[in-house]
Structure 1
Amino acid sequence: MNLLKKKSLWLGALFLLLLGGATLYVVYRELRGQDILGTLKNANLWWVLAAVVSMALYAVADGINISRCLRLAGYKLTFAQMMKYSFAGFFFSSITPSSTGGQPGQLYFMAKDRLKVSHSAFTLLCALLSFQCAAVVLGVVGVIFSHGEVFNLQGKFSYVFPIGFALNIAIIIGLFCVLFTRRIAGFFAGAGLWFMKIRGIKPGDKFKFLRSFAAYRKAASLLRLNKSVFVKMLITSFIQIILFHSVTFFCSHAVGCSSLDWFTVLRTQSSLFISVSSLPLPGAAGVTEYGYALFYADLIPEALLGSAMLLSRFCSFVLPLVASGLGLAALSVKQEK
């Protein structure tokens, strides 16, 4: 075995150890002192299974959106690649503040598969834009149908929705500008060249950078000429978020709250999601649970609220985190062989 191959295997093993360590740490932090086994034992497992299937379909929908843009650029992804990028997005988003690690993690795996950085970056920004648009629209619908109840919350949480809404709108505007405005994109290209000059640009690096930027702009032109692709991505994002929000409905019924209807959960979860999704906390830890208790205080009986919240967090965050980590590990080992 040559030295390069040995080095690759050692780096792969180290990466898998870090992946496993991060997963175990987040799981321990989330479930510390929580009796998830007791909750599962007393829950209706058919409803729990429905929640698990919803999250599995959520991951598949994410992979489908990623593959759509890459297909425009001429790439043909296998199902394993599609899911690998989806797993990477969920895993690294879950363990980093404000979900900022998702796209860099996906870019890393795309680069290992020899996808051009310009095409990968454009694809992930488009996927993020469609997701943000769907999340904001559903959040607004949730607030309208809840008759503005979110603005009547007491204490510090009364400011969370306006802040979260403003941050999400800012992200959407920023993404539209970067993706489809030549002047803004040119500004970032100039900033990139300036940064490279400060670091000490090597011969040929400027040409490579400008070539990548040209490929990025070409990808943007392809999407403008194929607007139906983004419409399909947007529809998929709506389905994806609805699946995610439905987990709470399934988990509430699993612990015995049969009076809670699906649309009430959808509008409530949409408002909660847009409130906490952009906060600078890994997986929006802590504030999600606190917000859940506030938003559902009048919807779920107090005796069932704790169990419903724990089971929902387990099915929508902890279990998918473990599954995405294991999926990344398995696909990485398979790729190294």
Structure 2
Amino acid sequence: MNENIKGNRKYIWNLIIMFILMLGTFYLLLKGNDIRLFIKTIKSINPIYVTLGFIMMFVFVLCESINIRILLNSLGNKISFWRGLKYSFVGFYFSSITPSASGGQPMQVYYMKKDKINISVSSLILLIVVAIYQIVMVIYVGILYFCKFSFLSDKIGNMKPFIIYGFTINSILVCIMLIIIFSNKLAEIIVNLFLKIGIKLRIVKNKKKYEEKINSHIKEYRDGAKHIKNNPIILIKICAITIIQLTALFIIPYFIYKAFGLNEYGVIDVMTIQGVLTIAVSSLPLPGAVGASESGFVTMFKILFSSKLVLPAMLVSRMVSFYLFLAISGVIVIGLQFKMNRCRDIKRYKKIKENLPI
């Protein structure tokens, strides 16, 4: 119970920090601008293109759910379409409110455990999903960057250090995740290291009991990793879906660009800038990359949108690609938590009823 309270407090604080960052960012960016003109500009945009942007964001979330479902099904854990979507929205929400998106996967593992999916299986499939996402993103953005290098050179501005940092951190993460997935020995070393830390900190009290559990999880992890390695077609499917997922994310600003009635630049130009921006801010220790994403958008998209339109464009783009889906995923998480609490209360009531004298 205490752990749940501490965890909830942590996420509440992350939400507060993100909200403060959001307010501070918009205050600094909007300071000195005519708010009425700003609102008038937003009202004049084409809602059809904004809707297309929203659909692309849904495709982004949907693709992750499909990847999770493919991997779970291949390992004998058959799940429905809606359950896969649930895990994806949970991941989106907790990744958005934690620094460097660090809270998404642990909470997905938690919800999968509640659905009777072994931790070893859920950890493995999420590690594969994240690893392939990072690999595809680095290669995808790298290709776009080098193909459009001359186009980007005058639009990067002071974002260059962040771009270098983003490519470096993401490449290192890819290497670490690949080693963990394909090296059973290293996975065992890491798990045992956490066990030793737990014993020293007195979090783990029954060493023998936990050793048995860990050995069981390691065996399941090895079996799952072996199955994935022996079925490369699964990885090819995940890579293909991830390409679609990232394309959906990178194309959103293009629809916003079209919503403002602009036509000078093509879809690849806009996607390249968004891809590089995503790499630059994705690993920053900020909840939802709030502040960095907004400032980076204004810096890198200024030439495309002009100084008058870049702020309204940034607001609409971030609303479609982040804030709106943060609210939707938040409502879903609250609903799931309410349902779990209700099920827990029903079980408690049944136990009490069983123990009552007739």
Q: Which residue of 1 aligns with 2:270?
A: 265
Could you tell me how far apart the structure 2 residues matched to 1:220 and 1:257 are? 48
What residue number does 2:68 align with? 66
Residues 292-303 of structure 1: pairs in structure 2 closer than 5 A: 292-303=297-308
Equivalent residue in structure 2 for 1:316, among 315, 318, 321: 321
Report the TM-score, using the length of structure 2 for normalisation: 0.83
**Distance across 2 between alignment mates of 1:27 and 1:40:** 22
Letter in 2 for 1:272: L
TM-score (norm: length of structure 1): 0.87
Counterpart for residue 348 of structure 2: none
Partner of 2:58: 56
How far did residue 120 of structure 1 move? 0.7
Alignment of 1:130-141 (within 5 A): 130-141=132-143
Q: Which range moved further: 303-312 or 179-188?
A: 179-188
Whether contact under 8 Å (1:55, 1:316) holds in the other structure is yes
Aligned-pair CA distance for 1:19: 7.9
Q: Which residue of 2 aligns with 1:216?
A: 221
Structural mapping, 1:126-275, within 5 Å? 126-147=128-149, 156-198=158-200, 199=202, 200-202=204-206, 203-275=208-280
> Which digits, 9 at most, give the CA deviation of each residue in 1:231-284, with x for residues without a partner?
111111110011011111111111222323111111111111111111111111
Conserved 8 A contact 1:150-1:161: no
Output the amino acid matched with 1:256. Answer: G
Q: Is contact 1:164-1:275 (8 Å) kept? A: yes
1:195-228 CA-to-partner distances (Å, cap 9, x unmatched) read 2432354142210111111111111011001111
Residue 334 (structure 1) shift: 4.5
Range 78-87 or range 324-333, more displaced: 324-333
Letter in 1 for 2:93: F
Contact 1:55/1:243, CA 8 A, preserved across alignment: yes
Instruction: Give runs of ≥4 in structure 1 deviating > 6 Å.
Output: 17-25, 34-37, 151-155
Q: 1:116 maps to which residue? A: 118
Q: Compared with structure 1, are the counterparts of its residues 53 and 106 closer, same or farther at alpha carbon in structure 2 (3 Å cutoff)?
A: same
Using the TM superposition, name which of 24-33 and 38-47 deviates more: 24-33
What is the CA–CA distance in structure 2 between the aligned matches of 1:140 and 1:314, rounded to whole Å?
26
Q: Deviations over 1:146-200 (max 9, x none)?
A: 2266566777532111111000000100000000012322321331332243235
Contact 2:52 2:255 in 1 (8 A): yes
Q: Given that residues 89 and 102 in structure 1 are in contact (C-alpha distance below 8 angstroms), is that contact kept between their aligned partners in structure 2?
A: yes
| Aligned AA (2:65) | G
Instruction: Check the 8 A contact 1:43/1:255 in 2, yes or no.
Output: yes
Q: Does 1:278 align with 2:252?
A: no
Q: Could you tell me whether the CA contact under 8 Å between 2:21 and 2:290 is conserved in 1?
A: no
Q: CA deviation at 1:298?
A: 2.2
Are the structure 2 counterparts of residues 106 and 121 from structure 1 closer, same or farther at C-alpha, using a change threshold of 3 Å? Answer: same
Tell me if the contact between 2:249 and 2:321 (Cα under 8 Å) persists in the aligned partners. Answer: yes
Q: What is the distance in 2 between the residues matched to 1:39 and 1:326?
A: 30
- Structure 1 pair 197–23 and aligned structure 2 pair: CA distance change class (3 A): closer
Q: Do the aligned residues in 1 keep the contact of 2:99 with 2:284 (CA within 8 Å)?
A: yes
Q: Which runs of 5+ in 2 are unaligned?
A: 344-358
Q: CA RMSD in A?
A: 2.7
Flag the structure with larger Rg. 2
The one-character-per-residue Cα deviations of 1:296-332 (angstroms, maximum 9, x if unpaired) are 2222222211111111011000001011111222344
